[in-house]
Amino acid sequence: MHLYLNYAREYWTRPDENPPVGLILCAAKGAAEARYALDSLPNKIIAAEYQMLLPDERLLVARLERWTQKSPQGA
C-alpha cells in the first residue's frame, strides 16, 4: 500500500490537501468491517482497485457483506 500512497502523495495530492489514505476491507467472525489504514503500513498489500474518491463506509460494509455471502468459502 505504501507504493500507491507514496505515488498519490507525490503526483496527485495538491498542497492544500491532506495526505492520501489507504482502505483495507476485511470480513471476520461473520461481521463485515471497513477500516481505514494510514500510510504507516508495510508495503505488503496489492491493490485490486484504485479510486480517487473514498466511498461511504456504509456502502463499503454492504458490498463486503454481499461479497462474503457470494464467496464459496464465506467470511
What residue spans define the domains of the chain? 2-70
Tell whether the model's pLDDT for residue 75 goes beyond 60: no
- Number of neighbouring beta carbons within 10 Å of residue 5: 20
Q: Are 35 and 54 in contact (CB under 8 A)?
A: no
Which of residues 58 and 1 earns the better pLDDT score? Answer: 58
Record the pTM: 0.41
pLDDT digits (tens, 9 = 90+) for 16-73: 988 887 776 666 655 555 555 544 555 555 556 666 677 788 888 888 888 878 766 6
Q: Give the residue from 20, 30, 6 showing the smallest Cα distance to 51.
A: 20
Residue 41's region, left for phi above 0, alpha for psi from -120 to 50, else beta, is: beta
